[in-house]
Chain A
């Protein structure tokens, strides 16, 4: 017996496998699906347990042109930022994205106030433009999301999308839509492992099985609270592997949106010459954020910059080599 064998931990639990996307066979129109979860060991520790599914990177696109994105991001995409469908296509065809996260930022009452009908049209256009599975994320305004997301859920019925996000005191509407239209749901908790568990209990008590729920314990960017999010995710993962079925769910993190908000990603070289090249700094910041969360067990990472996406995907594939 090698020394490595001696270091094995005996885990009693396994993370649920969750599939996002439905092909024609399953009643959808996706040309590929994504399955995450399934781990029976700590991240990438395949010497002590099964790690069948690689973490997945989803690229973030918006339903409207972002007006405050850092220049390197804008440069990476160019004019497609004006059209969600074109943007989606570029992500998949040029950058090889295996999943997309469509953020309905334009539906926020203060930033466009797009109607539910308009949002549903964008969803349909993106579904038509690409064949990869889709995450549909609201605008984080509870009342508006409760109007918009059910319409989008309907528009995407049968495609087995991941809908986001529900909170402890605002989940009934969206869970009902998920049940009706066959989607998976994202549960949002504010860096609190107990509330995360409570949401899982409440949602599953409504009839949505545990293997159609993904957890979003809230992401803090590198340098701006990442350690809280990292520790919460590690604690959750340990609970799951120790047999807590209600915590045995895959985890998502919003790497791109958090990392690119930071000064380190946005500041010009003039403001902070010691911090290095402004064109690549943000990319490295996004990578640093992502790699920390990979070690905490994140299963889905929503990222923005194509170069960061490529680097993380390469890293993941290396780590998954048996």
Chain B
């Protein structure tokens, strides 16, 4: 097999790759995280690279214009090496940078004392505990074995009916007990109904009991380092999930994970991210990795399957069956997570294929199941999940919103990181009045909240009609014909942008957003209809998910993504996933509550076969809705013409 060398810039990494291998595959092999929404099918255009030198064969595609091709630009997944090559991977094609909003978000919601502790909802009773034991020495009269002695002493301060100890610990036990003069610290980890003596450490290490609360998102991974004794959050970190290279959404990743080898690859890639985060947290907090003994993880069903390298194939096939909903507590090392070598990994339970532990965690954090008030929880992100209910009952569903909220499928779309327009305000003729860019530099693209803002503003200014089509008369000089034939609106000319390319919003982009928001709104209607209630019955609307924090309520209502209710009813709960994981970490009662009262009580509604959803979805494809009466605060003054016509 002929091989060639392929050098990646600006990283300056060179590897050998087989002739005919795609540049994308080579980049992955070289450890570079290259963007790919479609997982290498050549249909998203996000893996642009520049061939600096060398021979390649590139398959034609519709994403690159002539200027770009002349510059040597190519799609990494459609370009195959024919000789030694040098490839420049521009920064907009990398899954890199730090997810800006998620990080700020990570800092903002660090405190947990409202939920767990003295006088709070759940008692402080962490999933992992370290107890210092000063054991009475054995004598002729007190001659029980070492293990029994240990258990007896533990049971003096804890009521633990069932305990277990691994062979590795037993092998070390006699020696360590006698070496430390019978003064040791027992490390106890909760394993569902039993408690495991995970390890026995010399002397008193009980003050260093650390855990990690992990939000394993499809797009971003967030980790909080928690002192399990004091309940304090010591450090927080976030990064993009490197599985993105294999597909932006759960479906494409499930399809990628068709073989055990690929599932191992997917697992290793995300575990690598997790280990990076944990290593970073430990450095930031100046603690020892060995003292981190417990990870509590909340993620959607597919993410958990991929973390454990479980076969997720049946999640996406009728009747949509996960392999497991309530995974057992396992040794973190079994999946490759690097903490204390005998440390444990617990995951929050999921409800169904498309409603996972992340949403269950959101429910816990919102408190909606502790109040008789009717509440709706919306988790907006890569997927869109909804939970409706109160202390008596809970129903949930999942709406396939598509990637537009994360910038996917949008011409100048991007994730919420440096360069993303997260807020924009337009005036007459679509002139830009105000614009906030993450990181403060020149704009690179539109992230989800920026996209919603832009469409809301264009609608308000009359630049687009209710279908999202541009009205030339109202757009001033900013409207023009795009390369692919449709109409596009110029937000920023190339001179003002970070990439030196015009930043535009096309009719196709707006159409994608309309379909996404329509899915969510229709899902809300179906959920309410299923239990015979209406939007007016709602007392609270909780918005969760990292993206949800930056969603302006009024814009959300204006485009018909959110129901037209009193803004006071809406509440952001931020990253409920990591907060819920943290609560579980700090309180066994909280985890039990999640398993029995929340996940166990949520009734899942399958939308793909829902009669109402299929019949009425098209009504949501107007801005805000075909039936404007559903949005009374947005109803225009009655058209004089129509009234007169009817009167005639």
Contacts and interface: CB of A to CB of B under 8 A. Distances in A.
Contacts of A201: 466, 622, 626
A199 to B, nearest CB: 10
Nearest to A248: B646
Interface string B616-648: 101101100011000000000001011011101
Nearest to B620: A194
Contacts of B619: 193-194, 197
Interface in A222-248: 244-245
A164 to B, nearest CB: 20
A202 B465 contact: yes
B467 interface: yes
Contacts, number: 44
Contacts of A16: 646
A192 B618 contact: yes
Nearest to A243: B629
Contacts of B465: 202, 205
Interface string A207-232: 10111100000000000000000000
Interface string B57-99: 0000000000000000000000000000000000000000000
Nearest to A189: B618
B467 to A, nearest CB: 7
Interface residue tally on B, bucketed by range: 10 to 19
Nearest to A194: B619
Contact of A194 (B626, B641, B645, B648): B626
B618 A211 contact: no
A69 B639 CA distance: 46
A209 B626 contact: no
B648 A207 contact: no
A209 B616 contact: no
Interface residue tally on A, bucketed by range: 10 to 19
Contacts of A210: 642, 645-646
Interface centre among A194, A197, A209, A212 (most CB of B within 10 A): A194
A198 to B, nearest CB: 5
A193 B646 CA distance: 21
A292 interface: no
Given A197-B627, A211-B648, A204 B642 contact: yes
A209 B645 CA distance: 6
By secondary structure, the B interface counts as: helix
B622 A198 contact: yes
B140 to A, nearest CB: 87
B618 to A, nearest CB: 4
Contacts of A195: 618
Interface centre among B466, B467, B639, B646 (most CB of A within 10 A): B646
A175 to B, nearest CB: 14
A212 B644 CA distance: 13
Contact of A245 (B466, B615, B621, B646): B646
Nearest to A209: B645
Nearest to B648: A211
A194 B616 contact: yes
Contacts of A212: 645
A198 B626 contact: yes
A211 B646 contact: yes
Interface string B377-391: 000000000000000
Given A197-B626, A197-B627, A198-B626, A209 B642 contact: yes
B39 to A, nearest CB: 31
A209 B618 contact: no
Interface in B605-622: 615-616, 618-619, 621-622
A244 B646 CA distance: 13
A43 to B, nearest CB: 21
A111 to B, nearest CB: 29
Contacts of A193: 615, 619
Contacts of B646: 16, 210-211, 245
Interface in A1-19: 16
Given A194-B618, A194-B619, A197-B619, A202 B648 contact: no
A109 B31 CA distance: 57
A202 B464 CA distance: 12
Contacts of B466: 201-202, 205
Nearest to A245: B646
Given A16-B646, A197-B627, A245-B646, A207 B618 contact: no
Nearest to B466: A201
Contacts of B639: 204
Contacts of B627: 197, 244
Nearest to B622: A198
A201 B621 CA distance: 13
Contacts of A194: 616, 618-619, 621, 626
A160 to B, nearest CB: 14
A207 B640 CA distance: 11
Counting from the closest, the 6 A-B pairs by CB-CB distance are A209-B645, A194-B619, A194-B618, A194-B626, A197-B626, A211-B645
27 contacts: A16-B646, A168-B467, A193-B615, A194-B618, A194-B619, A194-B626, A195-B618, A197-B626, A197-B627, A198-B467, A198-B618, A198-B621, A198-B626, A201-B622, A202-B465, A202-B466, A204-B642, A205-B465, A205-B466, A209-B641, A209-B644, A210-B646, A211-B645, A211-B646, A244-B627, A245-B642, A245-B646
Interface of B: 465-467, 615-616, 618-619, 621-622, 626-627, 639, 641-642, 644-646, 648
Given A194-B626, A201-B626, A209-B641, 11 more contacts: A16-B646, A168-B467, A192-B618, A195-B618, A198-B467, A198-B618, A204-B639, A207-B641, A209-B642, A209-B645, A211-B646
